[in-house]
Structure 1
């Protein structure tokens, strides 16, 4: 039997060992985010420079979004009609929300998105040359990006002409001069000058997005779309408040409207929470290094993280762009006075006001989630890298078996992730069908998914840059200590 003194001594030793382990762990851990430290901003000058460049480019884009195309007159009902039109809602969301004032950057980056869908689909072993480019590292990516920008030109021409045709036929835009006032007639103005301005604005936005990607924070195209959606959110909330709160002074009507608006806000916040949770959920596949031996605890076990939705927000953007392309062509035909089977098909089966269009949109989102998950995380490449580095999944043979296991795991995760993504994407249109609330004011939708996904990705990139910078600072500090010790030894 141990006496009390011995037991007390053992407890003291144990507490000291635990305390030393904690101190050692805290010493070796990296905690770069310390705004209270005066040297924090000095050590991370590059990061703050990138953030500043990103914010300045976003500010420039917002300023350009208020510059209307020269010599165009907008009707008083332009903003209201554009916000209520499904075609323009979709175009504005993909373009970055710059269509509200028919600005010089009204097309946004939507032509580039449509072209990138086609290039990525053709790169999946459909065209061998493009498939080889996609596997050739940075050099191949640059070639694919150049090809995407070239293919963006015809889509930009098509979308600009469709926009001009539709807005002109509805009487929402008109030239400030007539053919009698100047030598430039209306046909020349609409079909040559305005499309050129819109295409130039779209490619200027692409150049700005490249600057964000290279010198700023996050993916440039995603950040531009994110900024456009966020700037519209306050107006959407105000419009929703006005929709629920009737102007009638009756207390019962006012109280009912306030209650509905509070329920709307609670549902909106809960939906944001669910999207964040679904974006952060991971399936951790344990991995092991050959000859490394057993790991002391499950906390230190290395693993391969696979998210519930590995494709991110790309499937929603792709599905929206695929639907918007035939709708754009139908708008050109309608504006020119032609109505055929194609126009009727688009109106009846691709419109979000019909159940057919909603179901097709959901199915496309699910299919693109499965497709892009395999593209985003290439099981064949992961299995090959594991085999070269001597890494393996316990219980799974290296090589083909590892590839099949990872591929099957991604597909199982994609079932839940794709259906949740499709549910959020079609939610506003379903709410609009079941209630009187316009789809532009309903919760959920493509815009909310894009905003949350881009926010999470940007925050993760900032954290990774902070950690990387902290390791660089520590390495430089250790090098200076070694050099100073060598000098002192020489002396």
Structure 2
């Protein structure tokens, strides 16, 4: 293990990428503590103490505590994720131009990325307006000298913070290790872990009273369940179904090509943590809007009571599971299109033994992908809701009971980063984490 870590810093390119990623994350963490102008610090502390029991606890976790600080990164990267969802949905033959760009490879991908950036700014402006006005209405005195100019400045700063985070994520993707957006969310969750552990420890030990012995047993059970969930997540994340592929021999000039056997690796959870992030974003949006009118509108009260996943409401849990399953199928089939895979194999003289090339191969791949993806979707849904149920049964604070989403993101991003480093080490003839 230690030899592997030393090997990482022997590769100059890999060392530069890791250092660059760490420096960007330091900038991100510094920005999480820079408050927005014209904000009352006392109201922020009151907000921090009173808002941890609602849906904002989840957003605060994703932003690394920036929301409860009402810093320049208070909105986090969520507007970008929402814009990505919208653009990908519109690329599924909803807008013909978007669908055409999605099939044009890197050129089309750059155009869709640009549209996503513009969408992020628009959604960021809308969300910043809602945050600044809504929070000031709920927590009186949050905004100092509220006026049109003051709100405009706050909205511009919050939107600029989200845009800057989006740029930082793209820089990590290009010059660092792994997917930048996922790493930023990963860093925010890691930063929130000590606070969550502190709240659990306070509830179980400091405020335990006569139930100290039972709470010690409860703490041990929580630790065992957490470790079991992490092991289960790693086990499923690493699961692969190998589809054998045979390439026919062909002669080009004086050289013979093909005649080799390979396989298509189909992961049980090919979509990774993206469906969970998408589902969380969509489920938290109604609760965020409703929280500003809680107690003043029956619709807002109904949404907070029935659609707030942070409270473990049954209807919210069912919708959350359905969204995760739906997004898992959607994202998997967008990333791995069976028809395109079959066409590529046919053009290169490849075929699956026992399956005719063309349409039969497409049907075969679609059937296998559907079965594997269904297993992966149920796995994601189970891991997402199981800690909620366990946390509610154990009487843990609501703000830290939503652990499934966080665990999936932490483990998924960590595995992706490890594989990226692994490939760089093996390419340069160094031993990695897996290949011992």
Normalising by structure 1, we get a TM-score of 0.79
Unaligned 5+ segments in structure 2 are 251-259, 431-436
| CA deviation after TM superposition for structure 1 residue 72, in Å | 1.2
Preserved CA contact (<8 Å) 1:161 1:195: yes
Q: 1:442 to 1:433 in 2, by over 3 A?
A: closer
User: Which SS does the other structure have where 1:441 is aligned?
Assistant: helix
1:272 aligned partner: 230
1:309 aligned partner: 269
1:63 aligned partner: 30
| CA deviation after TM superposition for structure 1 residue 285, in Å | 1.2
Query: How many residue pairs were aligned?
Result: 415
1:379 aligned partner: 338
Residue 306 of structure 2 corresponds to residue 349 of structure 1: yes
2-structure distance, mates of 1:220, 1:201: 16
Q: 1:345 to 1:122 in 2, by over 3 A?
A: farther
| CA deviation after TM superposition for structure 1 residue 413, in Å | 0.8
Preserved CA contact (<8 Å) 2:204 2:219: yes
Q: Deviations over 1:274-313 (max 9, x none)?
A: 0111100111111112139xxxxxxx96221111111111
Of the candidates 284, 303, 323, which is equivalent to residue 324 of structure 1?
284
1-structure distance, mates of 2:134, 2:198: 28
User: Which SS does the other structure have where 1:229 is aligned?
Assistant: helix
Preserved CA contact (<8 Å) 1:288 1:394: yes
Runs of 4+ with >6 A deviation: none
Normalising by structure 2, we get a TM-score of 0.89
Q: How does 1:2-151 map to 2 (within 5 A)?
A: 41-42=9-10, 44-74=11-41, 75=43, 76-86=45-55, 88-95=56-63, 97-151=65-119
1:25 aligned partner: none
Q: Deviations over 1:388-433 (max 9, x none)?
A: 1111111111111111111111110122211111111122432354
Q: 1:446 to 1:34 in 2, by over 3 A?
A: closer
Greater Rg over alpha carbons, structure = 1
2:257 aligned partner: none
Q: 1:135 to 1:150 in 2, by over 3 A?
A: same
Q: How does 1:290-301 map to 2 (within 5 A)?
A: 290-291=248-249
2-structure distance, mates of 1:311, 1:154: 27
Preserved CA contact (<8 Å) 1:96 1:224: no
Residue 375 of structure 2 corresponds to residue 416 of structure 1: yes
Residue 323 of structure 2 corresponds to residue 360 of structure 1: no
CA RMSD of aligned residues (A): 2.4
